[in-house]
């Protein structure tokens, strides 16, 4: 069976006047609840099916949803700010808050009748996942933040983590509001965010986009409303859930320093650097990332930090705790931070 035929029916959750579209990968499998929040402007189909299959193989019930102003979820009316860069610089959002967006995730969890869930967010979804953990701590079992900035930064402080040259290229993209325009926009965005150390497979990407021509790729008004939503809650230092911070080694949009900053500020968090990965989830990263999320879920009772280094099939995946003083060198199969008594070894560690 093709993976795109293994998704359950589209369902709807409601948060006030906002309706949120979501679906579940092979719902008959069951498993531990895991909710995926997508990135800026894109719909839920942007999450690779192969990655979701890996998560399901690790025992998760995988649900993805369209954030407000994305995909099939409610799109809000236009505002005066129609450029994502201008929206980042604005003092406050004009339409809704980051708290509203965090509550959207909980609305989906409620509709699924889940008491809590592991939460995974990519790009803007990563910042949102951090905020969900802060605003609804009893509903989040573990947090995985991928390719994101710290969830409590805004305005000019955000720019320290963004590669402005790539951002300016995004700002210059212009495509017609047609099906073909959506495909061409998707191709342009994919070229910009792919690791420069991997060859861009245009034919494969075009095939994916033709099955899902997402207009959100070039809807700058919707993107402006999303990125302009301001967070007024506590800092990410207040996150208490087991946390994995993931970043592509070659991310051309968000600097890896963002992952270091998040890991340094969330107590007990761990960081996984994906080799030859940009601002994306390439196929070679699916297996180690799914294994890392499984291990995170399995060790929720281990509160203290530990330091591990690992070698994946490419030989360069690194995992560190938030205490960078104890980070160890690449190639060691496993080692714990001082004082740590966690008994398990992460499944992607080298075994003697």
Structure confidence at residue 94 (pLDDT) = 67
Structure confidence at residue 310 (pLDDT) = 38
Over residues 208-228, mean pLDDT: 82
* C-alpha torsion angle, residues 117, 118, 121, 127 (rounded to 10): 80
Alpha helix locations (H) across the chain?
A: 49-57, 84-89, 98-111, 124-135, 164-171, 179-193, 202-211, 220-227, 257-265, 283-298
The residue that leads in pLDDT, 312 or 179, is: 179
Structure confidence at residue 224 (pLDDT) = 85
Structure confidence at residue 154 (pLDDT) = 85
- Judge if pTM exceeds 0.95: no
Structure confidence at residue 313 (pLDDT) = 37
Structure confidence at residue 93 (pLDDT) = 63
For 113-129, what is each residue's pLDDT tens digit? 999 999 999 999 999 99
Over residues 241-264, mean pLDDT: 97
Which residues are paired to 12 by β-bridges?
A: 21
Phi first, then psi: what are they for 250, rounded to 5°? -110, 25
By CB atoms closer than 10 A (0-12, 13-18, 19+), residue 159 is middle
Mean pLDDT for the chain overall: 83
Q: Is the pLDDT of residue 89 over 80?
A: no
For 274-332, what is each residue's pLDDT tens digit? 999 999 999 999 999 999 999 999 987 454 334 333 333 333 444 544 443 233 223 22
Q: Which of 48-62, 152-166, 338-352 has the lowest mean pLDDT?
A: 338-352
CA distance 174 to 195: 23
Q: State what percent of residues in the chain have pLDDT above 90.
A: 60
The residue that leads in pLDDT, 325 or 87, is: 87
For 15-45, what is each residue's pLDDT tens digit? 999 999 999 999 999 999 999 999 998 999 9
Q: Which of 102-111, 127-136, 301-310 has the lowest mean pLDDT?
A: 301-310
């Amino acid at each position: 069976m093709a993976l795109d035929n293994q998704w359950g029916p589209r369902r709807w959750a409601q948060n006030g006047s906002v309706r949120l579209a979501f679906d579940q990968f092979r719902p008959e499998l069951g498993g531990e609840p895991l909710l995926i929040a997508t990135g800026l402007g894109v719909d839920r189909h942007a999450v690779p099916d192969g990655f979701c299959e890996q998560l399901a193989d690790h025992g998760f019930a995988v649900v993805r949803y369209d954030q407000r102003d994305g995909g099939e979820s409610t799109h809000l009316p236009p505002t005066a700010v129609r450029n994502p860069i201008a929206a980042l610089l604005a003092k406050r959002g004009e339409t809704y808050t980051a708290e509203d967006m965090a509550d959207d995730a909980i609305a989906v969890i409620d509709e699924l009748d889940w008491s809590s869930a592991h939460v995974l967010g990519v790009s803007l979804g990563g910042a949102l996942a951090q905020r969900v953990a802060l605003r609804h701590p009893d509903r989040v079992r573990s947090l995985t933040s991928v390719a994101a900035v710290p969830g409590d930064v805004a305005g000019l402080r955000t720019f320290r983590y963004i590669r402005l040259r790539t951002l300016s290229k995004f700002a210059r993209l212009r495509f017609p509001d047609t099906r073909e325009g959506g495909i061409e926009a998707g191709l342009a965005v994919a070229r910009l965010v792919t690791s420069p150390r991997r060859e861009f497979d245009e034919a494969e990407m075009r095939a994916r986009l033709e099955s899902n021509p997402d207009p959100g790729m070039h809807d700058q008004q919707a993107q402006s409303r999303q990125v302009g939503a301001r967070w007024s809650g506590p800092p990410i230092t207040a996150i208490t859930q087991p946390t994995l911070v993931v970043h592509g080694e070659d991310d051309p949009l968000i600097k890896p320093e963002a992952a270091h900053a998040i890991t340094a500020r969330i107590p007990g968090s761990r960081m996984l650097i994906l080799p030859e990965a940009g601002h994306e989830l390439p196929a070679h990263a699916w297996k180690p990332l799914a294994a890392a999320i499984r291990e995170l879920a399995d060790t929720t009772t281990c509160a203290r930090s530990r330091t591990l280094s690992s070698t994946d099939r490419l030989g360069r995946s690194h995992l560190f705790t938030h205490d960078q003083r104890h980070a160890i060198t690449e190639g060691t199969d496993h080692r714990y931070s001082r004082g740590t008594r966690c008994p398990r070894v992460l499944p992607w560690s080298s075994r003697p």
